[in-house]
Structure 1
Amino acid sequence: MQQIAHAVERVRAAAPLVQCITNTVVQQVTANALLACGASPAMLDHEADAAQFARIANGILVNFGTATSHQLLAADAAIAEANALGTPWVLDPVSVGGVDYRTTRIRAAAAQRPTAVRGNASEIAALAGHGAGGRGVDATDEVDAVLPAAVELSRALASGTGVPGSVIAVSGPVDAIVRTRAEGGADVVRVGGGSDLMPLVIGTGCSLGAVAAAYLGAADRTDPDAALWAVAAAHAHFAAAGARAAESAQGPGSFAVAFVDALHALAPEEIAAVTVTAEVRSEERS
C-alpha cells in the first residue's frame, strides 16, 4: 500500500529522535532497531532529565518491562511533556495484569491517552478490562478474539473528546492495528508476514513499540489518518524484515543479526509489499 511506502520514506528522511523509557533487557536491541530503520535512539530514563529531553524528542516510548523507580518517575514526567506539546508517544503494557503494582502503573499511564498502545493479544485484553493478561510476557489469547476489546480500548482512551481514539496495535501471527473513528466505527488494518523465529529473539516486540514511536514522530500531523498508518507501517517494516531474515537464518541467533540487517536494507516498496488489508467495522462489545 502506498501509505506504507510513504511512511517509510518519511522516517528515513526525518531521522526522528525517539526517547525510550524502556526495559533494561532490550535497550541495546531497541537502539539498534531504531538506527537500522533510520531513526535516532535516546535512552534517557532518569526523572532528573526525562522531561527536558521529552521537549526535543519527536516520539516517546514508555515500556515498563523492568521498571525501576527512576523509570516510573521519568515516564510520568515525559508523558506530561508529550501531552503538553502534542508529541506522539507509545505505551507498551508489558505483562499488564500479571502483578498488581505494575498493572496499576500501566493503567495510570494509559489514562494519559497515549497516541498508540502496542502489545500482544493478552496484554491488550487485560488493559481493556477483559482478561488477566498472558503468561509473563507471552500471550495466551488470539488476535481476532481480542479485536472487540481493542476497539473498546481505543474508544475509551479518546475520553469522549470527539476525536479518533488511540491506535491499538495487537501483535500476533497477523498483527491488527485498530483505531476508532470520531463519528463511530473503527478502522482495522491487518499486517501479515514476519517469521516464527521472531518470538524466539528477545526484544522484537519491545523494539517494535519504539519503531512505532519513530514512525509517529515522522508522520504528517495534519493528516487525520497519519497515526493509524504510521503504526501500521512500523508493523509492516518488522514483518518484511522478519520474512527477509528468515530466508538466511539458521536459528534465533543468526536471525537476530539478519533481522537488523533487513530493517536497514529493505526498500520502501519492499516493505509496502507485505500483506496488508484494511477494513472499517462497527464497534463491538466484548
Structure 2
Amino acid sequence: MSISNQLPTIDSIIQAHQALKQQKPLVQCLTNSVSVNFMANVLLSAGASPAMVDNPEEAAEFVHFANGVVVNLGTPTAALVDAMKLAIAEANKINKPWVLDPIAAGALSWRGQLAADFLKSKPIVVRGNASEIIGLAGLGSNAKGFDSSNDPAHAVDAAISLLEHTHVVSASGEVDHIVAKTVLDDEEQYWVAKIKGGSFFFPLVTASGCSLGALVAAYAAVTNPFNAVVSAHAHYAVAGKKAHLKVDAPGDFQREFLNELYKVTTEDFEAYLELSINELQVA
C-alpha cells in the first residue's frame, strides 16, 4: 500500500500536534490488560481521549464514535479477540483508521497467526519493536517477538515487506525507524524516517511501547498516515528527552514523561527533535 508523496517535516509535525490538541480525537483501545491505565493517561496527557471499549457486545458499535482504533495483542483472550475482529471489520467498513500492535508476533504461534490474519485486514499502520516487525514479516523464523533489544535498523527490510498490507510500519527503539512508500506518477519510492528515542528509561516503563501505538492512532485521526506516525514518535521522543533531563530513575521518569507529553510546545519540537528522512533503495 502507498500514501501521498508528501513527506513529513518539522512544520507538518507541529501542525499535526496542534490539530491533536484542538480536535482531541477519541481512540478506542482494544489493548492488553497490563497497558490499560498507562495508555489512557498517555492519550489524555498528549491531548487525545481514550475509550477502553473492548468487549464483543459493544466493540463494533463504538467504532462509529471513535476517531481511531488501536488493536494490541499483548494479552489476547478469546473474548478480546472476538471484539478485535468485530472492531476491525467495522473500522474498515466505515473507513476509520486502525493501528495494529503485533506484540510477540514471531514468538507465540496462536497470537502470531492472529497478527498475520489481522494484517490481511490492512491496518493503516503497524507499530511494534524491531523483533515484532521481523516476526510478523516472517512467522516461523523463531524471532523473539517479545524482545525489544533488537536494533530497529535490522527491521527495515521486514517493514518494507509489510507495506503490501499497510501504509506505514514503525519499529521503535533507541532510534525509531518508520518506513513508508509513496507513489508519484506511477513511480514508487520507499522512505525511512529516523527519530532518536527520548530516554533509556522507556524500556523500564511498562506499556510505553503499547501506549505509543495508541498515540499513533490518535494522530492518524488528524493527519495523513506517514505524518501521523512520525508525529506520534516525535511527540514521544521530545517528551521523553525533556523528562529524562529531570530524573534519575524509571518511576520518576514515568511521572515526568506524562507531564512533558502534556507540556510539549512548538519550540520543544524545534529544539529537541532529531529527525531525518531518507529514500531507501529497494530492488
Q: TM-score, normalised by structure 1?
A: 0.91
The correspondence of residues 196-211 of structure 1 with structure 2, limited to 5 A, is 196-211=200-215
1:87 to 76, 79, 96: 96
Matching of residue 238 in structure 1 with residue 236 in structure 2: yes
Give how far 1:128 is off: 0.9
Q: Distance in 2 between matches of 1:140 and 1:243?
A: 20
Q: Distance in 2 between matches of 1:268 and 1:77?
A: 38
Partner of residue 132, structure 1: 142
Q: Distance in 2 between matches of 1:87 and 1:103?
A: 24
Q: Distance in 1 between matches of 2:257 and 2:92?
A: 33
Q: Distance in 2 between matches of 1:246 and 1:265?
A: 14
Q: Secondary structure at the match of 1:48?
A: coil
Give how far 1:281 is off: 1.6
Q: Distance in 1 between matches of 2:216 and 2:270?
A: 16
Letter in 2 for 1:166: H
Give how far 1:192 is off: 1.1
The correspondence of residues 15-26 of structure 1 with structure 2, limited to 5 A, is 15-26=24-35
CA contact (8 A) 1:125 1:150 kept: yes
CA contact (8 A) 1:184 1:282 kept: no
Partner of residue 217, structure 1: 221
Q: Distance in 2 between matches of 1:104 and 1:187?
A: 28
Count of residue pairs the alignment pairs up: 269
Q: Distance in 1 between matches of 2:269 and 2:158?
A: 28
Q: Distance in 2 between matches of 1:25 and 1:46?
A: 16
Partner of residue 276, structure 2: 277
From the superposition, tell whether residues 272 and 30 of structure 1 become closer, same or farther in structure 2 (CA, over 3 Å). farther
Q: Secondary structure at the match of 1:249?
A: coil
CA contact (8 A) 1:169 1:176 kept: yes
Give how far 1:240 is off: 0.7
CA contact (8 A) 1:27 1:43 kept: yes
Partner of residue 71, structure 2: 62
Give how far 1:140 is off: 4.5
Letter in 2 for 1:186: Y
Give how far 1:193 is off: 3.6
2:265 to 261, 264, 267: 267
Moved over 6 A (4+): none
Summarize deviations over 1:139-196 as a string: whole Å, max 9, x none.
Answer: 3432112211111111x21xxxxxxx52101101110111122432212111114000
Q: TM-score, normalised by structure 2?
A: 0.92
Give the gaps of 5 or more residues in structure 1. Answer: 158-164, 220-225
From the superposition, tell whether residues 107 and 215 of structure 1 become closer, same or farther in structure 2 (CA, over 3 Å). same
The correspondence of residues 181-192 of structure 1 with structure 2, limited to 5 A, is 181-182=182-183, 183-192=187-196
Partner of residue 6, structure 2: none
Q: Secondary structure at the match of 1:184?
A: strand
CA contact (8 A) 1:58 1:88 kept: yes
Letter in 2 for 1:214: A
